[in-house]
């Protein structure tokens, strides 16, 4: 399956791509299925009520991730990229008060979030740790339509049938599928990517751009405009986070820190009071600004997920504002290169914290950002692959253990450290010639195996780790 730069980098809302954006998208898809099947049901058996159940990680951390709110808004008809936060808040309150919803084209339906939206804390469904079952009933209480969706990370959603088909076709048919669709550089592994680069003389970004132009059916200048729009949203998110202050929602009492840190850094400029490692503070504050916005339910870009949304924007901002010779073309190179690496990781392992822990989220984001920065700073394809491997390797085994299921502790600071590791990885790779011991493909496979073996308590269930070792109030 081809993964576009716009699949990896999607505009949406916080706090979670898998627990907020995914369920909202699944609910919207369910509405489409109901509309498409309406002619099959006689008027006497009209659609009357909807129900939903959350399973696995969606149940265990759904409250903290606002999954119930996402389902409600999805059933109302919202999508993550069109959400009006002010209007959404009013509509959610109305649904909870009236116990009814009015999806476009489906009339008025009964839906009581207190009874029709069930958090099932039993064993997860077999397909994936993030499962959502949506049900529709006629006026007699008979089943009208039932569909199971899996939110597989990064806002991606698949039905049960789609997931089974994807797993069956995943490894053996990817190359043939891309070649049949006419992609000029159909790499399905890092090794293939490097070999195609050697044969063509093109950079990873150039190959990814050529594939994107075929996939999107647009010329390169239009592709550039779309990529830069995504970058503008990332940058705007940093700026919002640097302006805002106060306590984040959810009950932990976590205060926003990005604005105060940013003001300190600005005050220290030019007065010789900064330590040499101040670059790390700039990286951290940019990433924290994004993830504080994400925790508050603001507009962010999956990079490749919401929980890891701060790493890539922070490294881009660092490149733009702090690196010598930074250009707009360099930013585009970063995005295309990062998307190529992110697509490989998602295809060959996972970007879902519920499936493989935080190594799959912040680890993947750091690998993407390291590769992107290395490319923008003139790295060869071999150096870029090395940078991605270094960053991912040193996140292996990282658990996903959000306190109270909120994407705040340890997630906000963790993005800052992910950005720092990404820059360090790019710098180390640029100091060498690209020759290294562990190939990126092997590191990705190690991440997949580690995630498979990781205890469920440490995979976005908030049943282990920091989530159960909180200070007593």
Q: What is the pLDDT of residues 48-105, one digit of tens each?
A: 999 999 999 999 999 999 999 999 999 999 999 888 877 888 999 999 999 999 999 9
CA distances (Å), 339 to each of 9, 98, 290, 372, 388, in order?
8, 43, 19, 9, 12
* Nearest Cα residue to 293 out of 85, 58, 5, 465: 85
**Backbone φ, ψ for residue 252 (5° rounding):** -80, -20
CA distances (Å), 387 to each of 41, 208, 344, 360, in order?
56, 18, 15, 17
Dihedral of the alpha carbons of 89, 147, 402, 243, in degrees to the nearest 10: -30
Work out the mean pLDDT of the chain and round it to a whole number.
Answer: 93
- CA-based angle 167:171:177, to the nearest 5? 100
Lowest mean pLDDT, pick from 21-25, 178-182, 324-328, 349-353 = 178-182
Q: What is the pLDDT of residue 166?
A: 80
Residue 254 near residue 247 (C-beta atoms within 8 A): yes
The tokens 């079952």 sit on which residue?
133
- Residue 146, SS3 per DSSP: strand
> In which band, very low, low, confident or very high, does the pLDDT at 180 lie, cut at 50, 70 and 90?
very low
Q: What is the pLDDT of residue 172?
A: 53
Average pLDDT over residues 432-440: 98
Q: What is the pLDDT of residue 399?
A: 98
Q: For residue 287, give both structure tokens.
A: 């990433």
| pLDDT higher at 167 or 438 | 438
Distance, CA of 391 to CA of 399 (rounded, Å): 16
Structure confidence by residue, pLDDT tens digits, 127-178: 999 999 999 999 999 998 999 999 999 999 999 899 888 877 764 544 444 4
| pLDDT higher at 379 or 178 | 379
Distance, CA of 366 to CA of 358 (rounded, Å): 11
> In which band, very low, low, confident or very high, does the pLDDT at 1 lie, cut at 50, 70 and 90?
low
Q: What is the pLDDT of residue 451?
A: 98
Q: Where exactly are the structural domains of the chain?
A: 17-162, 207-468
Q: What is the pLDDT of residue 190?
A: 98
Q: What is the pLDDT of residue 181?
A: 59
Instruction: Identify the CATH number of the domain defined by range 17-162.
Output: 3.30.1330.90
DSSP string, 348-395: HS---HHHH-GGGTHHHHHHHHHHHHHHHTT--HHHHHHHHHHHHHTT
Lowest mean pLDDT, pick from 37-46, 183-192, 266-275, 457-466 = 37-46
Residue 441 near residue 347 (C-beta atoms within 8 A): no
Q: What is the pLDDT of residue 319?
A: 98
* Residue 106 CB contacts under 8 Å (≥ 6 apart), including other chains: 31, 34, 35, 38, 47
- Tell whether the model's pLDDT for residue 45 goes beyond 70: no
| pLDDT higher at 185 or 471 | 185
Average pLDDT over residues 400-425: 97
Average pLDDT over residues 411-420: 98
How many Cα atoms within 13 Å fall on the side-chain side of residue 140?
A: 8
Q: What is the pLDDT of residue 212?
A: 97
Q: Are strands 47-56 and 117-120 parallel, antiparallel or unpaired?
A: parallel
Q: What is the pLDDT of residue 2?
A: 85
Q: For residue 235, give both structure tokens.
A: 């940058």
User: Global pTM?
Assistant: 0.91
- Tell whether the model's pLDDT for residue 410 goes beyond 60: yes
Would you give the end-to-end CA distance of the chain in angstroms?
A: 48
Q: Which residues pair with 439 in a beta bridge?
A: none
Q: What is the pLDDT of residue 27?
A: 96
- Tell whether the model's pLDDT for residue 404 goes beyond 90: yes
How many Cα atoms within 13 Å fall on the side-chain side of residue 171?
A: 3
Residue 397 near residue 359 (C-beta atoms within 8 A): yes
């Amino acid at each position: 399956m081809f993964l576009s730069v716009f699949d990896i980098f999607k505009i949406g809302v916080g706090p979670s791509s898998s627990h907020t954006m995914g369920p909202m998208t699944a609910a919207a898809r369910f509405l489409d299925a109901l509309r498409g099947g309406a002619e099959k049901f006689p008027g006497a058996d009209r659609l009357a009520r909807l129900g939903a159940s959350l399973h696995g990680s969606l149940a265990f951390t759904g409250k903290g991730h606002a999954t119930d709110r996402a389902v409600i808004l999805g059933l109302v008809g919202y999508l993550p990229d069109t959400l009006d936060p002010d209007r959404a808040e009013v509509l959610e309150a109305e649904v909870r008060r009236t116990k009814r919803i009015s999806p476009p084209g489906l009339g008025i339906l009964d839906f009581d979030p207190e009874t029709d939206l069930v958090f099932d804390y039993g064993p997860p469904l077999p397909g994936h740790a993030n499962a959502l079952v949506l049900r529709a009933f006629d006026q007699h209480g008979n089943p009208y339509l039932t569909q199971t969706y899996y939110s597989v990370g990064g806002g991606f959603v698949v039905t049960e049938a789609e997931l089974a088909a994807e797993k069956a076709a995943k490894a053996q048919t990817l190359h043939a599928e891309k070649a049949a669709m006419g992609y000029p550089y159909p790499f399905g592994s890092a090794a293939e990517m490097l070999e195609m680069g050697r044969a063509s003389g093109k950079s990873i970004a150039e190959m990814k751009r050529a594939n994107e132009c075929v996939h999107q059916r647009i010329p390169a200048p239009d592709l550039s405009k779309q990529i830069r729009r995504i970058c503008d949203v990332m940058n705007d998110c940093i700026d919002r986070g640097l302006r805002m202050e106060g306590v984040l929602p959810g009950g932990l009492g976590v205060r926003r820190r990005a604005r105060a840190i940013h003001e300190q850094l600005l005050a220290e400029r030019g007065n010789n009071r900064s330590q040499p490692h101040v670059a790390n503070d700039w990286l951290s504050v940019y990433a924290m600004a994004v993830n504080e916005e994400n925790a508050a339910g603001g507009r962010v870009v999956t990079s490749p997920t919401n929980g890891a949304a701060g790493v890539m924007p922070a490294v881009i901002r660092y490149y733009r504002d702090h690196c010598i010779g930074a250009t707009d073309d360099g930013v585009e190179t970063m995005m295309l290169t990062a998307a190529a690496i992110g697509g490989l990781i998602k295809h060959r392992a996972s970007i879902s914290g519920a499936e493989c822990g935080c190594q799959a989220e912040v680890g993947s984001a750091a690998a993407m950002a390291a590769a992107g920065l290395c490319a923008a700073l003139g790295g060869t394809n071999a150096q870029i692959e090395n940078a991605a491997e270094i960053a991912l390797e040193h996140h292996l085994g990282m658990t996903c253990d959000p306190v109270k299921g909120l994407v705040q502790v340890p997630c906000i600071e963790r993005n800052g450290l992910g950005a720092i590791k990404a820059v360090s990885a790019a710098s180390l790779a640029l100091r060498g010639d690209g020759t290294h011991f562990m190939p990126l493909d092997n590191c990705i496979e190690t991440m997949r195996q580690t995630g498979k073996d990781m205890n469920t308590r440490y995979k976005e269930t908030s049943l282990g780790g920091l989530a159960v070792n909180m200070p007593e109030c």
